[in-house]
Amino acid sequence: MYFRDVIGQEEVKKRLIRSAQTGVVPHAQLFTEQGGAGAFPLAIAYGRYLNCSHRTEEDACGVCPSCVKYDALAHPDLHFVFPIVSKKEKKKEVCDDYLPEWRDFLKGRPYFTIDHWLEHMDAGNSQAIIYSKESDEIIRKLSLKIYEAEYRILLVWLPEKLHQTCANKLLKIIEEPPANTIILMVSEAPDLILGTIQSRSQRIPIRPIATESIEKALLSQYKLEVKDAQDVAHRASGSYVQAMEAISLGDENAFFLEQFKGMMRNSWTRNVKGMKAMGDVLAGIGRERQKNFLVYCQYLIRENFMYRFQSPDITYMNMEEKSFSNNFAPYVNERNVFDLMDELAKAERHIAQNVNAKMVFFDLGLRITVLIKR
Ligand SMILES: [Zn+2]
């Protein structure tokens, strides 16, 4: 990640570049944002720029030994601390155990949320935190001699997830920093960070991205009409993550949307064989996902019902869902909307009560057959 990969944020880029050029580099810096504004890519680009031996006025060179190692996120003087889920059976208890996954995750992905990372880690329903065990790791790494860099960088993503013990250790380090060590923290909830860490760090507020910058980035990264790019950028509230989600669905929702389409198609054409087959597929995805799917179906029915009454830009649907709704919305009307919602909620309840999933989904298909023709 380079400064050029960061969307908009020209003022902050200038500020960070100036800091590197003048050598006034606070040893603890706290980047804060509401999510999706680019604080993480900015922090990495800054660390890279600080250590680049041939930097230009705008960015790092991309060819010096330091830049090459930063490209692979494998510089010996670049350390990451980030929330993880502990997997005792796989001996994954500190961040370094996740390094291969973490590097893989960051490759070509400057904008992300904790949910994306949880999914990448296969976290299941676990919460990710930075465990107390990590404090020994941090102390160990920072007590070593710096290998080769001008500035050793410790990048802490989401310090609000630090275990108390770890937060206290970090505070000690911030109070007595080892030479040439820069701690960059990227937070989405700075109020949850230890007050003493906050007060001893230089705060770098990252504002939501300007709408025009998002629009420009969308046009260069996706095949979009100018009008659609404007529309998406306008509704993204300054978050590039939100903008991307408005364009393409995540894997899970894309799967759910396909299943929903199949279910409606089967019911409309009275395809009993198809309903059975679908019951088999959905029976195999596990209770949690079955419930999520049924919640998603209720959301789609509700949105499709409202689709006709309101201007399309105030629905919450993303572009793929909307293009489906252009055809589907007329089938959801005053005569069936409440019964459809009831049936979906009932199926959700039955799944929660461990009723046989094949039966639940087959039965649901039959009931929708009756309702959808009203
Ligand atoms: Zn360089």
pLDDT at 314 over 70: no
pLDDT on residue 228: 86
* Dist. CA 66 → ligand 1 center (Å): 6
Burial class from Cβ neighbours inside 10 Å (0-12, 13-18, 19+) for residue 220 reads: exposed
Model confidence over 107-153: pLDDT tens digits?
988 999 998 999 899 887 788 999 999 999 999 999 999 999 999 99
Q: What is the mean pLDDT of the segment spanning 338-345? A: 97
Number of Cβ atoms within 10 Å of the Cβ of 164:
10
- Tell whether the model's pLDDT for residue 316 goes beyond 80: no
| Residue whose token pair is 């990252």 | 206
CA 177 to ligand 1 centroid distance, Å = 25
CATH of the domain at 274: 1.20.272
In this structure, the answer to whether residues 202 and 107 fall within a common structural domain is yes
d(CA 56, ligand 1 centre) in Å: 9
Ligand 1 geometric centre to CA of 51 (Å): 7
171 and 75 co-located in one domain: yes
Residue 371 pLDDT class (50, 70, 90 cuts): very high
pLDDT tens track for 224-283: 889 889 989 998 999 999 999 888 777 788 899 999 999 999 999 999 999 999 999 999
Residues 86 and 99 in one domain: yes
pLDDT, tens digit (0-9, with 9 covering 90-100), for 46-75: 999 999 999 999 999 999 999 999 999 999
Residues 154 and 60 in one domain: yes
Given 247, 274, 306, which residue is the final one in a domain? 247
Residue 19 CA to ligand 1 centre (angstroms): 17
- The rounded Cα 262 to chain-centroid distance in angstroms is 28
Q: How far is the CA of 113 from the centre of ligand 1 (A)?
A: 28
**pLDDT tier at 311, thresholds 50, 70, 90:** low
Centre of ligand 1 to C-alpha 65, Å, is: 7
Q: How far is the CA of 3 from the centre of ligand 1 (A)?
A: 12
Quick check: 41 pLDDT over 70? yes
Q: Over 80: is that where the pLDDT of 312 sits?
A: no
> Same domain for 115 and 187?
yes
Among 227, 247, 267, the domain-final residue is: 247
CA of 5 to the centre of ligand 1 (A): 15
In degrees, to the nearest 5, what angle opens at C-alpha 47 toward C-alphas 42 and 52? 120
CA of 347 to the centre of ligand 1 (A): 58
357 CA to centre of ligand 1 in angstroms: 57
Q: Please give the distance, rounded to the nearest whole angstrom, from the Cα atom of residue 260 to the centre of ligand 1.
A: 50
SS (H, E, C) 254-305: HHHHHHHHHHHHHHHCCCHHHHHHHHHHHHCCCHHHHHHHHHHHHHHHHHHH
Interval between CA 107 and ligand 1 midpoint (Å): 18
Q: Give yes or no: residues 197 and 88 share one domain.
A: yes
What residues have a C-beta under 5 A from ligand 1, the ion? 52, 60-61, 64, 67
The pLDDT of residue 118: 92
DSSP 169-185: HHHHHHHSPPTTEEEEE
Compute, in angstroms, the gap from residue 15 CA to the centroid of ligand 1: 19
Q: Dihedral of the CA atoms 185, 190, 194, 199 (nearest 10)?
A: 80
Q: With 90 as the cut, is the pLDDT of residue 297 above it?
A: yes
CATH of the domain at 20: 3.40.50.300
Asked if 149 and 52 touch (Cβ cutoff 8 Å), the reply is no
pLDDT band at 106 (very low <50, low <70, confident <90, very high): very high
Cα of 155 from ligand 1 centre, angstroms: 19
Q: Mark whether 174 and 271 lie in a shared domain.
A: no
Q: Are residues 33 and 164 in the same domain?
A: yes
Mean pLDDT, the chain, rounded, equals 93
Q: Which pLDDT band, with edges at 50, 70 and 90, does 313 fall under?
A: low
Whether residues 197 and 285 share a domain: the answer is no
- Tell me what pLDDT residue 235 has: 85
* CA 243 – CA 233 distance, rounded (Å): 6
Task: Give, in order, the Cα–Cα distances in Å from 359 to each of 274, 279, 282, 365, 366.
Answer: 14, 7, 11, 10, 11
Q: State the pTM of this model.
A: 0.79
Q: Is the pLDDT of residue 198 over 80?
A: yes
70 alpha carbon – ligand 1 mean position (Å): 9
Q: How far is the CA of 59 from the centre of ligand 1 (A)?
A: 9
Split into its structural domains, the chain has a count of 3
Give the residue-averaged pLDDT of 70-91: 94
185 pLDDT band (50/70/90 cuts)?
very high
Given a cut of 90, is residue 308 above it in pLDDT?
no
CB 138 within 8 A of CB 81: yes
Ligand 1 centre from 82 Cα, in Å?
A: 25
Q: Identify whether the C-beta of residue 182 lies closer than 8 Å to the C-beta of residue 173.
A: no
In the prediction, which pLDDT does 318 show? 83
Say yes or no: 217 and 202 in one domain. no
Residues 142, 119, single domain; the answer is yes
Q: How far is the CA of 52 from the centre of ligand 1 (A)?
A: 4
For residue 117, the enclosing domain spans 3-207
